[in-house]
Chains A and B, each alone.
Chain A
């Protein structure tokens, strides 16, 4: 009896230990071209508008494909990249992921971080995409992801506040500065820039310098294109925006909003802050907290000669498949549904920007859904000579360098000169390190 109990206990120990052992099975399941019964995890970030539309799209998928169940995992942007980073590094990531452009560099520097979607082309209709769009998701020879939409940051304003102030949307940088002085008299701000996860403060300063110099801040292959003087000019420009009451200082913003995002802040909802710089694909969360039709897209700011160069675009979101998925065909079929299915496109609308897929775009056009701020933003960007943002620019460590410089200039703990030199050397050293 005792021996049996001991044996059972020993067996239990072995089973529990073996269950926790690190098998490190990185073998990639090859596609077999058939769709089998399975469950797939699908993760994305976004605002409520995107969540609601995506859940409806998943319902439609489940009706059409009752054998393949999609398990949704979603949340806001803040902290999402960190969550995905830990899931990918521990091998527990979902089968299908909405990924950000810079994740291709951080999670798949050699192209082996995600499933090669070229191998799944029998399930995904890649012919719906331009080669340039597909190239965004390529790392080396491997197609790691497919871009959902191509988008850029544009300016959006609270039309009610502007009409109350009797002000037009600014067209040039000097209009914006003048507007700051005008709004300042009533204690209002025409725009808001942040140094949180969005990092719009540095972004706008980069656009201004790119427009003036024609140099790209960071080149597509990860070289720093700006000189110390350029960075100094960008930081000075940012300081000028604060001094002219165009935007709140970092201190005022932090005091008023704490750690909350702008679209959750009473200053934005109440109209004291009347403008925002946001991706066309993500502006829905700002639109939804204001009454219908209040938020409007404004023109891209130009120099006095009307040159609007320097504004940037990028694949706003991409879909990727985990390299560890046991169901690559099914995952690819779901991505195809999300990207190309006409009914699904109708449900999703422009919650992820204007679709890059031709079939989805024409479906939206047919149903008259190709409208709203995302569409206006797209049209505005299309009329300009935009540059494609380097994925290196959006890396978290890089954002930390920008935000440190902006914060120190705003608080006055460093002069523009030393902040620019510090940022130049930090960015340069880091880029050199990761390019190796």
Chain B
């Protein structure tokens, strides 16, 4: 049990704010764990000290009067991004959009321009070398196509 949890449970039990079931479980825990019992004693001593200080010093209860107009108003929090981060995000978004539309409208021209490498030039050891992304002819999105059929033959297969 975390020390903070034990702290909360011991105080709540002492103040009669624990359900009987939880109090019983706490008792079981304390009965089994000597270290927790010692910690509980220290928590109770602090609680008793707090109680004594409050009872002996009623002036602590006199809280300053806060006029209504001075009440703290929670304003909606505004997030400020650094300018460089906003610019970088805008550039990335623009590049992504251009790339997407270039792929949709003219895949051959992109290949010709040298931006896309032919499949044979990929590292054949890569697990992704066997796959290729193609556009669905029906225009429903992209498809993953397996291109390395040789590797489909497992050693045990005839």
A and B: interacting chains: no
Q: Which residues of B contact A (CB under 8 A)?
A: none
Q: Which residues of A contact B (CB under 8 A)?
A: none
